[in-house]
Structures are given as structure tokens and as C-alpha cells.
Structure 1
Amino acid sequence: MTTDDMPAAGDLSALLEPLKALANPVRFQVLQWLREPEEHFAVDPAVTDPRAVGVCVSHIQAKTGLAQSTVSAYMAVLERAGLVRSTRVGKWTHYRRDEERIASFIEAFRREVGEAHMVDSLPL
């Protein structure tokens, strides 16, 4: 393959940013937890809907056992990669998965890699 055959960097950024974000095991785990927030976080649906609004960063911090600043930085990486969305509720930030962008990422990965069976086993 020559450099002329290589995709332009801009063409791959939509694929590479999520992959870089998911390379960290904690970020990957948080994204998995957010798939079923009621199962993984002690959220009160009477206060906020974890599917519509998201899970408070303090709940994510408590589950990971990491410093709040580290969790906030991790969530910012996932948000920049397009894997989660944030919503402010008062002084708190809530995060939920961006299912549409995750599906687009998986489809782009499938097209670029060309191996459908590889993506079907990803636990996103």
C-alpha cells in the first residue's frame, strides 16, 4: 500500500477518536454501564430519568472509585468522541450514551475494517 492509497486523516478521525476513547478500560466500562444505567447505578427515577437525562457524574465516580476530576476528564473524552452526551441539571452533569453516534461509529468501523463478524462481538 502506498501513501496515495491511505485514507486522508480527516476521513479516519470519525473512526479513530472513538477508538482512542475506548482504548482506556475504565472509559470502555463506563460506556457499557451506561447501556443499562438502572442496573449499574443507584439512580432515583423520581429525581431524574437515567435514560433521558443520564447518570450523574457523582454516581459514575462512586462506581469507579476514581477521583471526581478523573471521571470528569474521562467523560469529556467520551463526549468529544461522540459516544456520550451531557446534560446539566443544576450544578450536576449527567451523561447518557449517544446511541445514534455509537451506531454510526460501528457502521463506519464495519466499512473500514471490512469484517462484519468482528464488530458484532463488540460489547458496546
Structure 2
Amino acid sequence: MLRNPVDGTRLRILAWLKEPAVAEHGATVDAVATRFALPRPVALTHLRLLTAVGLLRADHAAGRPHYRRDEVRIAETARMFEKGW
């Protein structure tokens, strides 16, 4: 789910969203598409998948969703993998 067999885009998105400047306000679909040179529909697919599994949450500001990491859920998921789940 996190590892795209071709290039690991989802992991790179999660890492980028942790950077302080991005983490504070979150990122829009357009910002993710620009940052990773992705077509907008592809960026949206990645963000929706990460949101669906609980690793991101979307906050709607000015009518546009801004995606942020859900640090609690990410920590829970990491603990499950550490336990061999």
C-alpha cells in the first residue's frame, strides 16, 4: 500500500508532509502534484488512498482540502509492523 512498486511516491509524500513548512498548513492536491511532478488526478489518488487508510486527514480550508499527516495513526501503524503484524 505504501510502496509503489515503481517509485515509492506515497512514502515520499508522507515524508514531505512531515517537513515543518508543509506540516503546519498541510498541502493541497495541486501542491502535491507540483512538488512530485504528477498529474493532478494521480496526486489526488495517492492522497485519497493515504486518507482512506488513516495516515492522512483532510482539513477543508477555503473550500479546498489541505492534507496533513495523522501522526497518531502513523505511530499506531508503525507499532503494528514492529510487532510483526
Question: What's the TM-score, normalizing by structure 1?
Answer: 0.60
Name the counterpart of 2:10: 27
Helix, strand or coil: the match of 2:49?
Answer: helix
The separation in 2 between residues aligned to 1:35 and 1:95, in whole angstroms, is 11
Out of 27, 37, 48, the residue aligned to residue 76 of structure 1 is 48
Report the alpha carbon displacement of residue 110 of structure 1 after superposing the two structures with TM.
1.0
Q: CA RMSD for the aligned pairs?
A: 1.6
- Equivalence for 1:6: none
2:81 is matched by which residue type in structure 1? Answer: F
In the superposition, the TM-score normalised over structure 2's length comes to 0.85
Q: Decide whether the 8 Å contact of 1:61 with 1:68 is kept in 2.
A: yes
Runs of 4+ residues over 6 Å off in structure 1: none
Equivalent residues in 2 for 1:100-111 (5 A)?
100-111=72-83
Structure-1 separation of matches of 2:82 and 2:48: 25
Q: How does 1:1-124 map to 2 (within 5 A)?
A: 20=1, 22-24=2-4, 25-38=8-21, 50-51=23-24, 53-112=25-84
The share of aligned pairs that are identical, in percent, is 30
| Alignment deviations for residues 1-41 of structure 1 (CA, whole Å, 9 cap, x no partner) | xxxxxxxxxxxxxxxxxxx1x11211110001011151xx6
Gaps (5+ residues) in structure 2?
A: none
**Structure 1 counterpart of 2:79, which letter?**
E
Asked which structure has the greater CA Rg, the reply is: 1
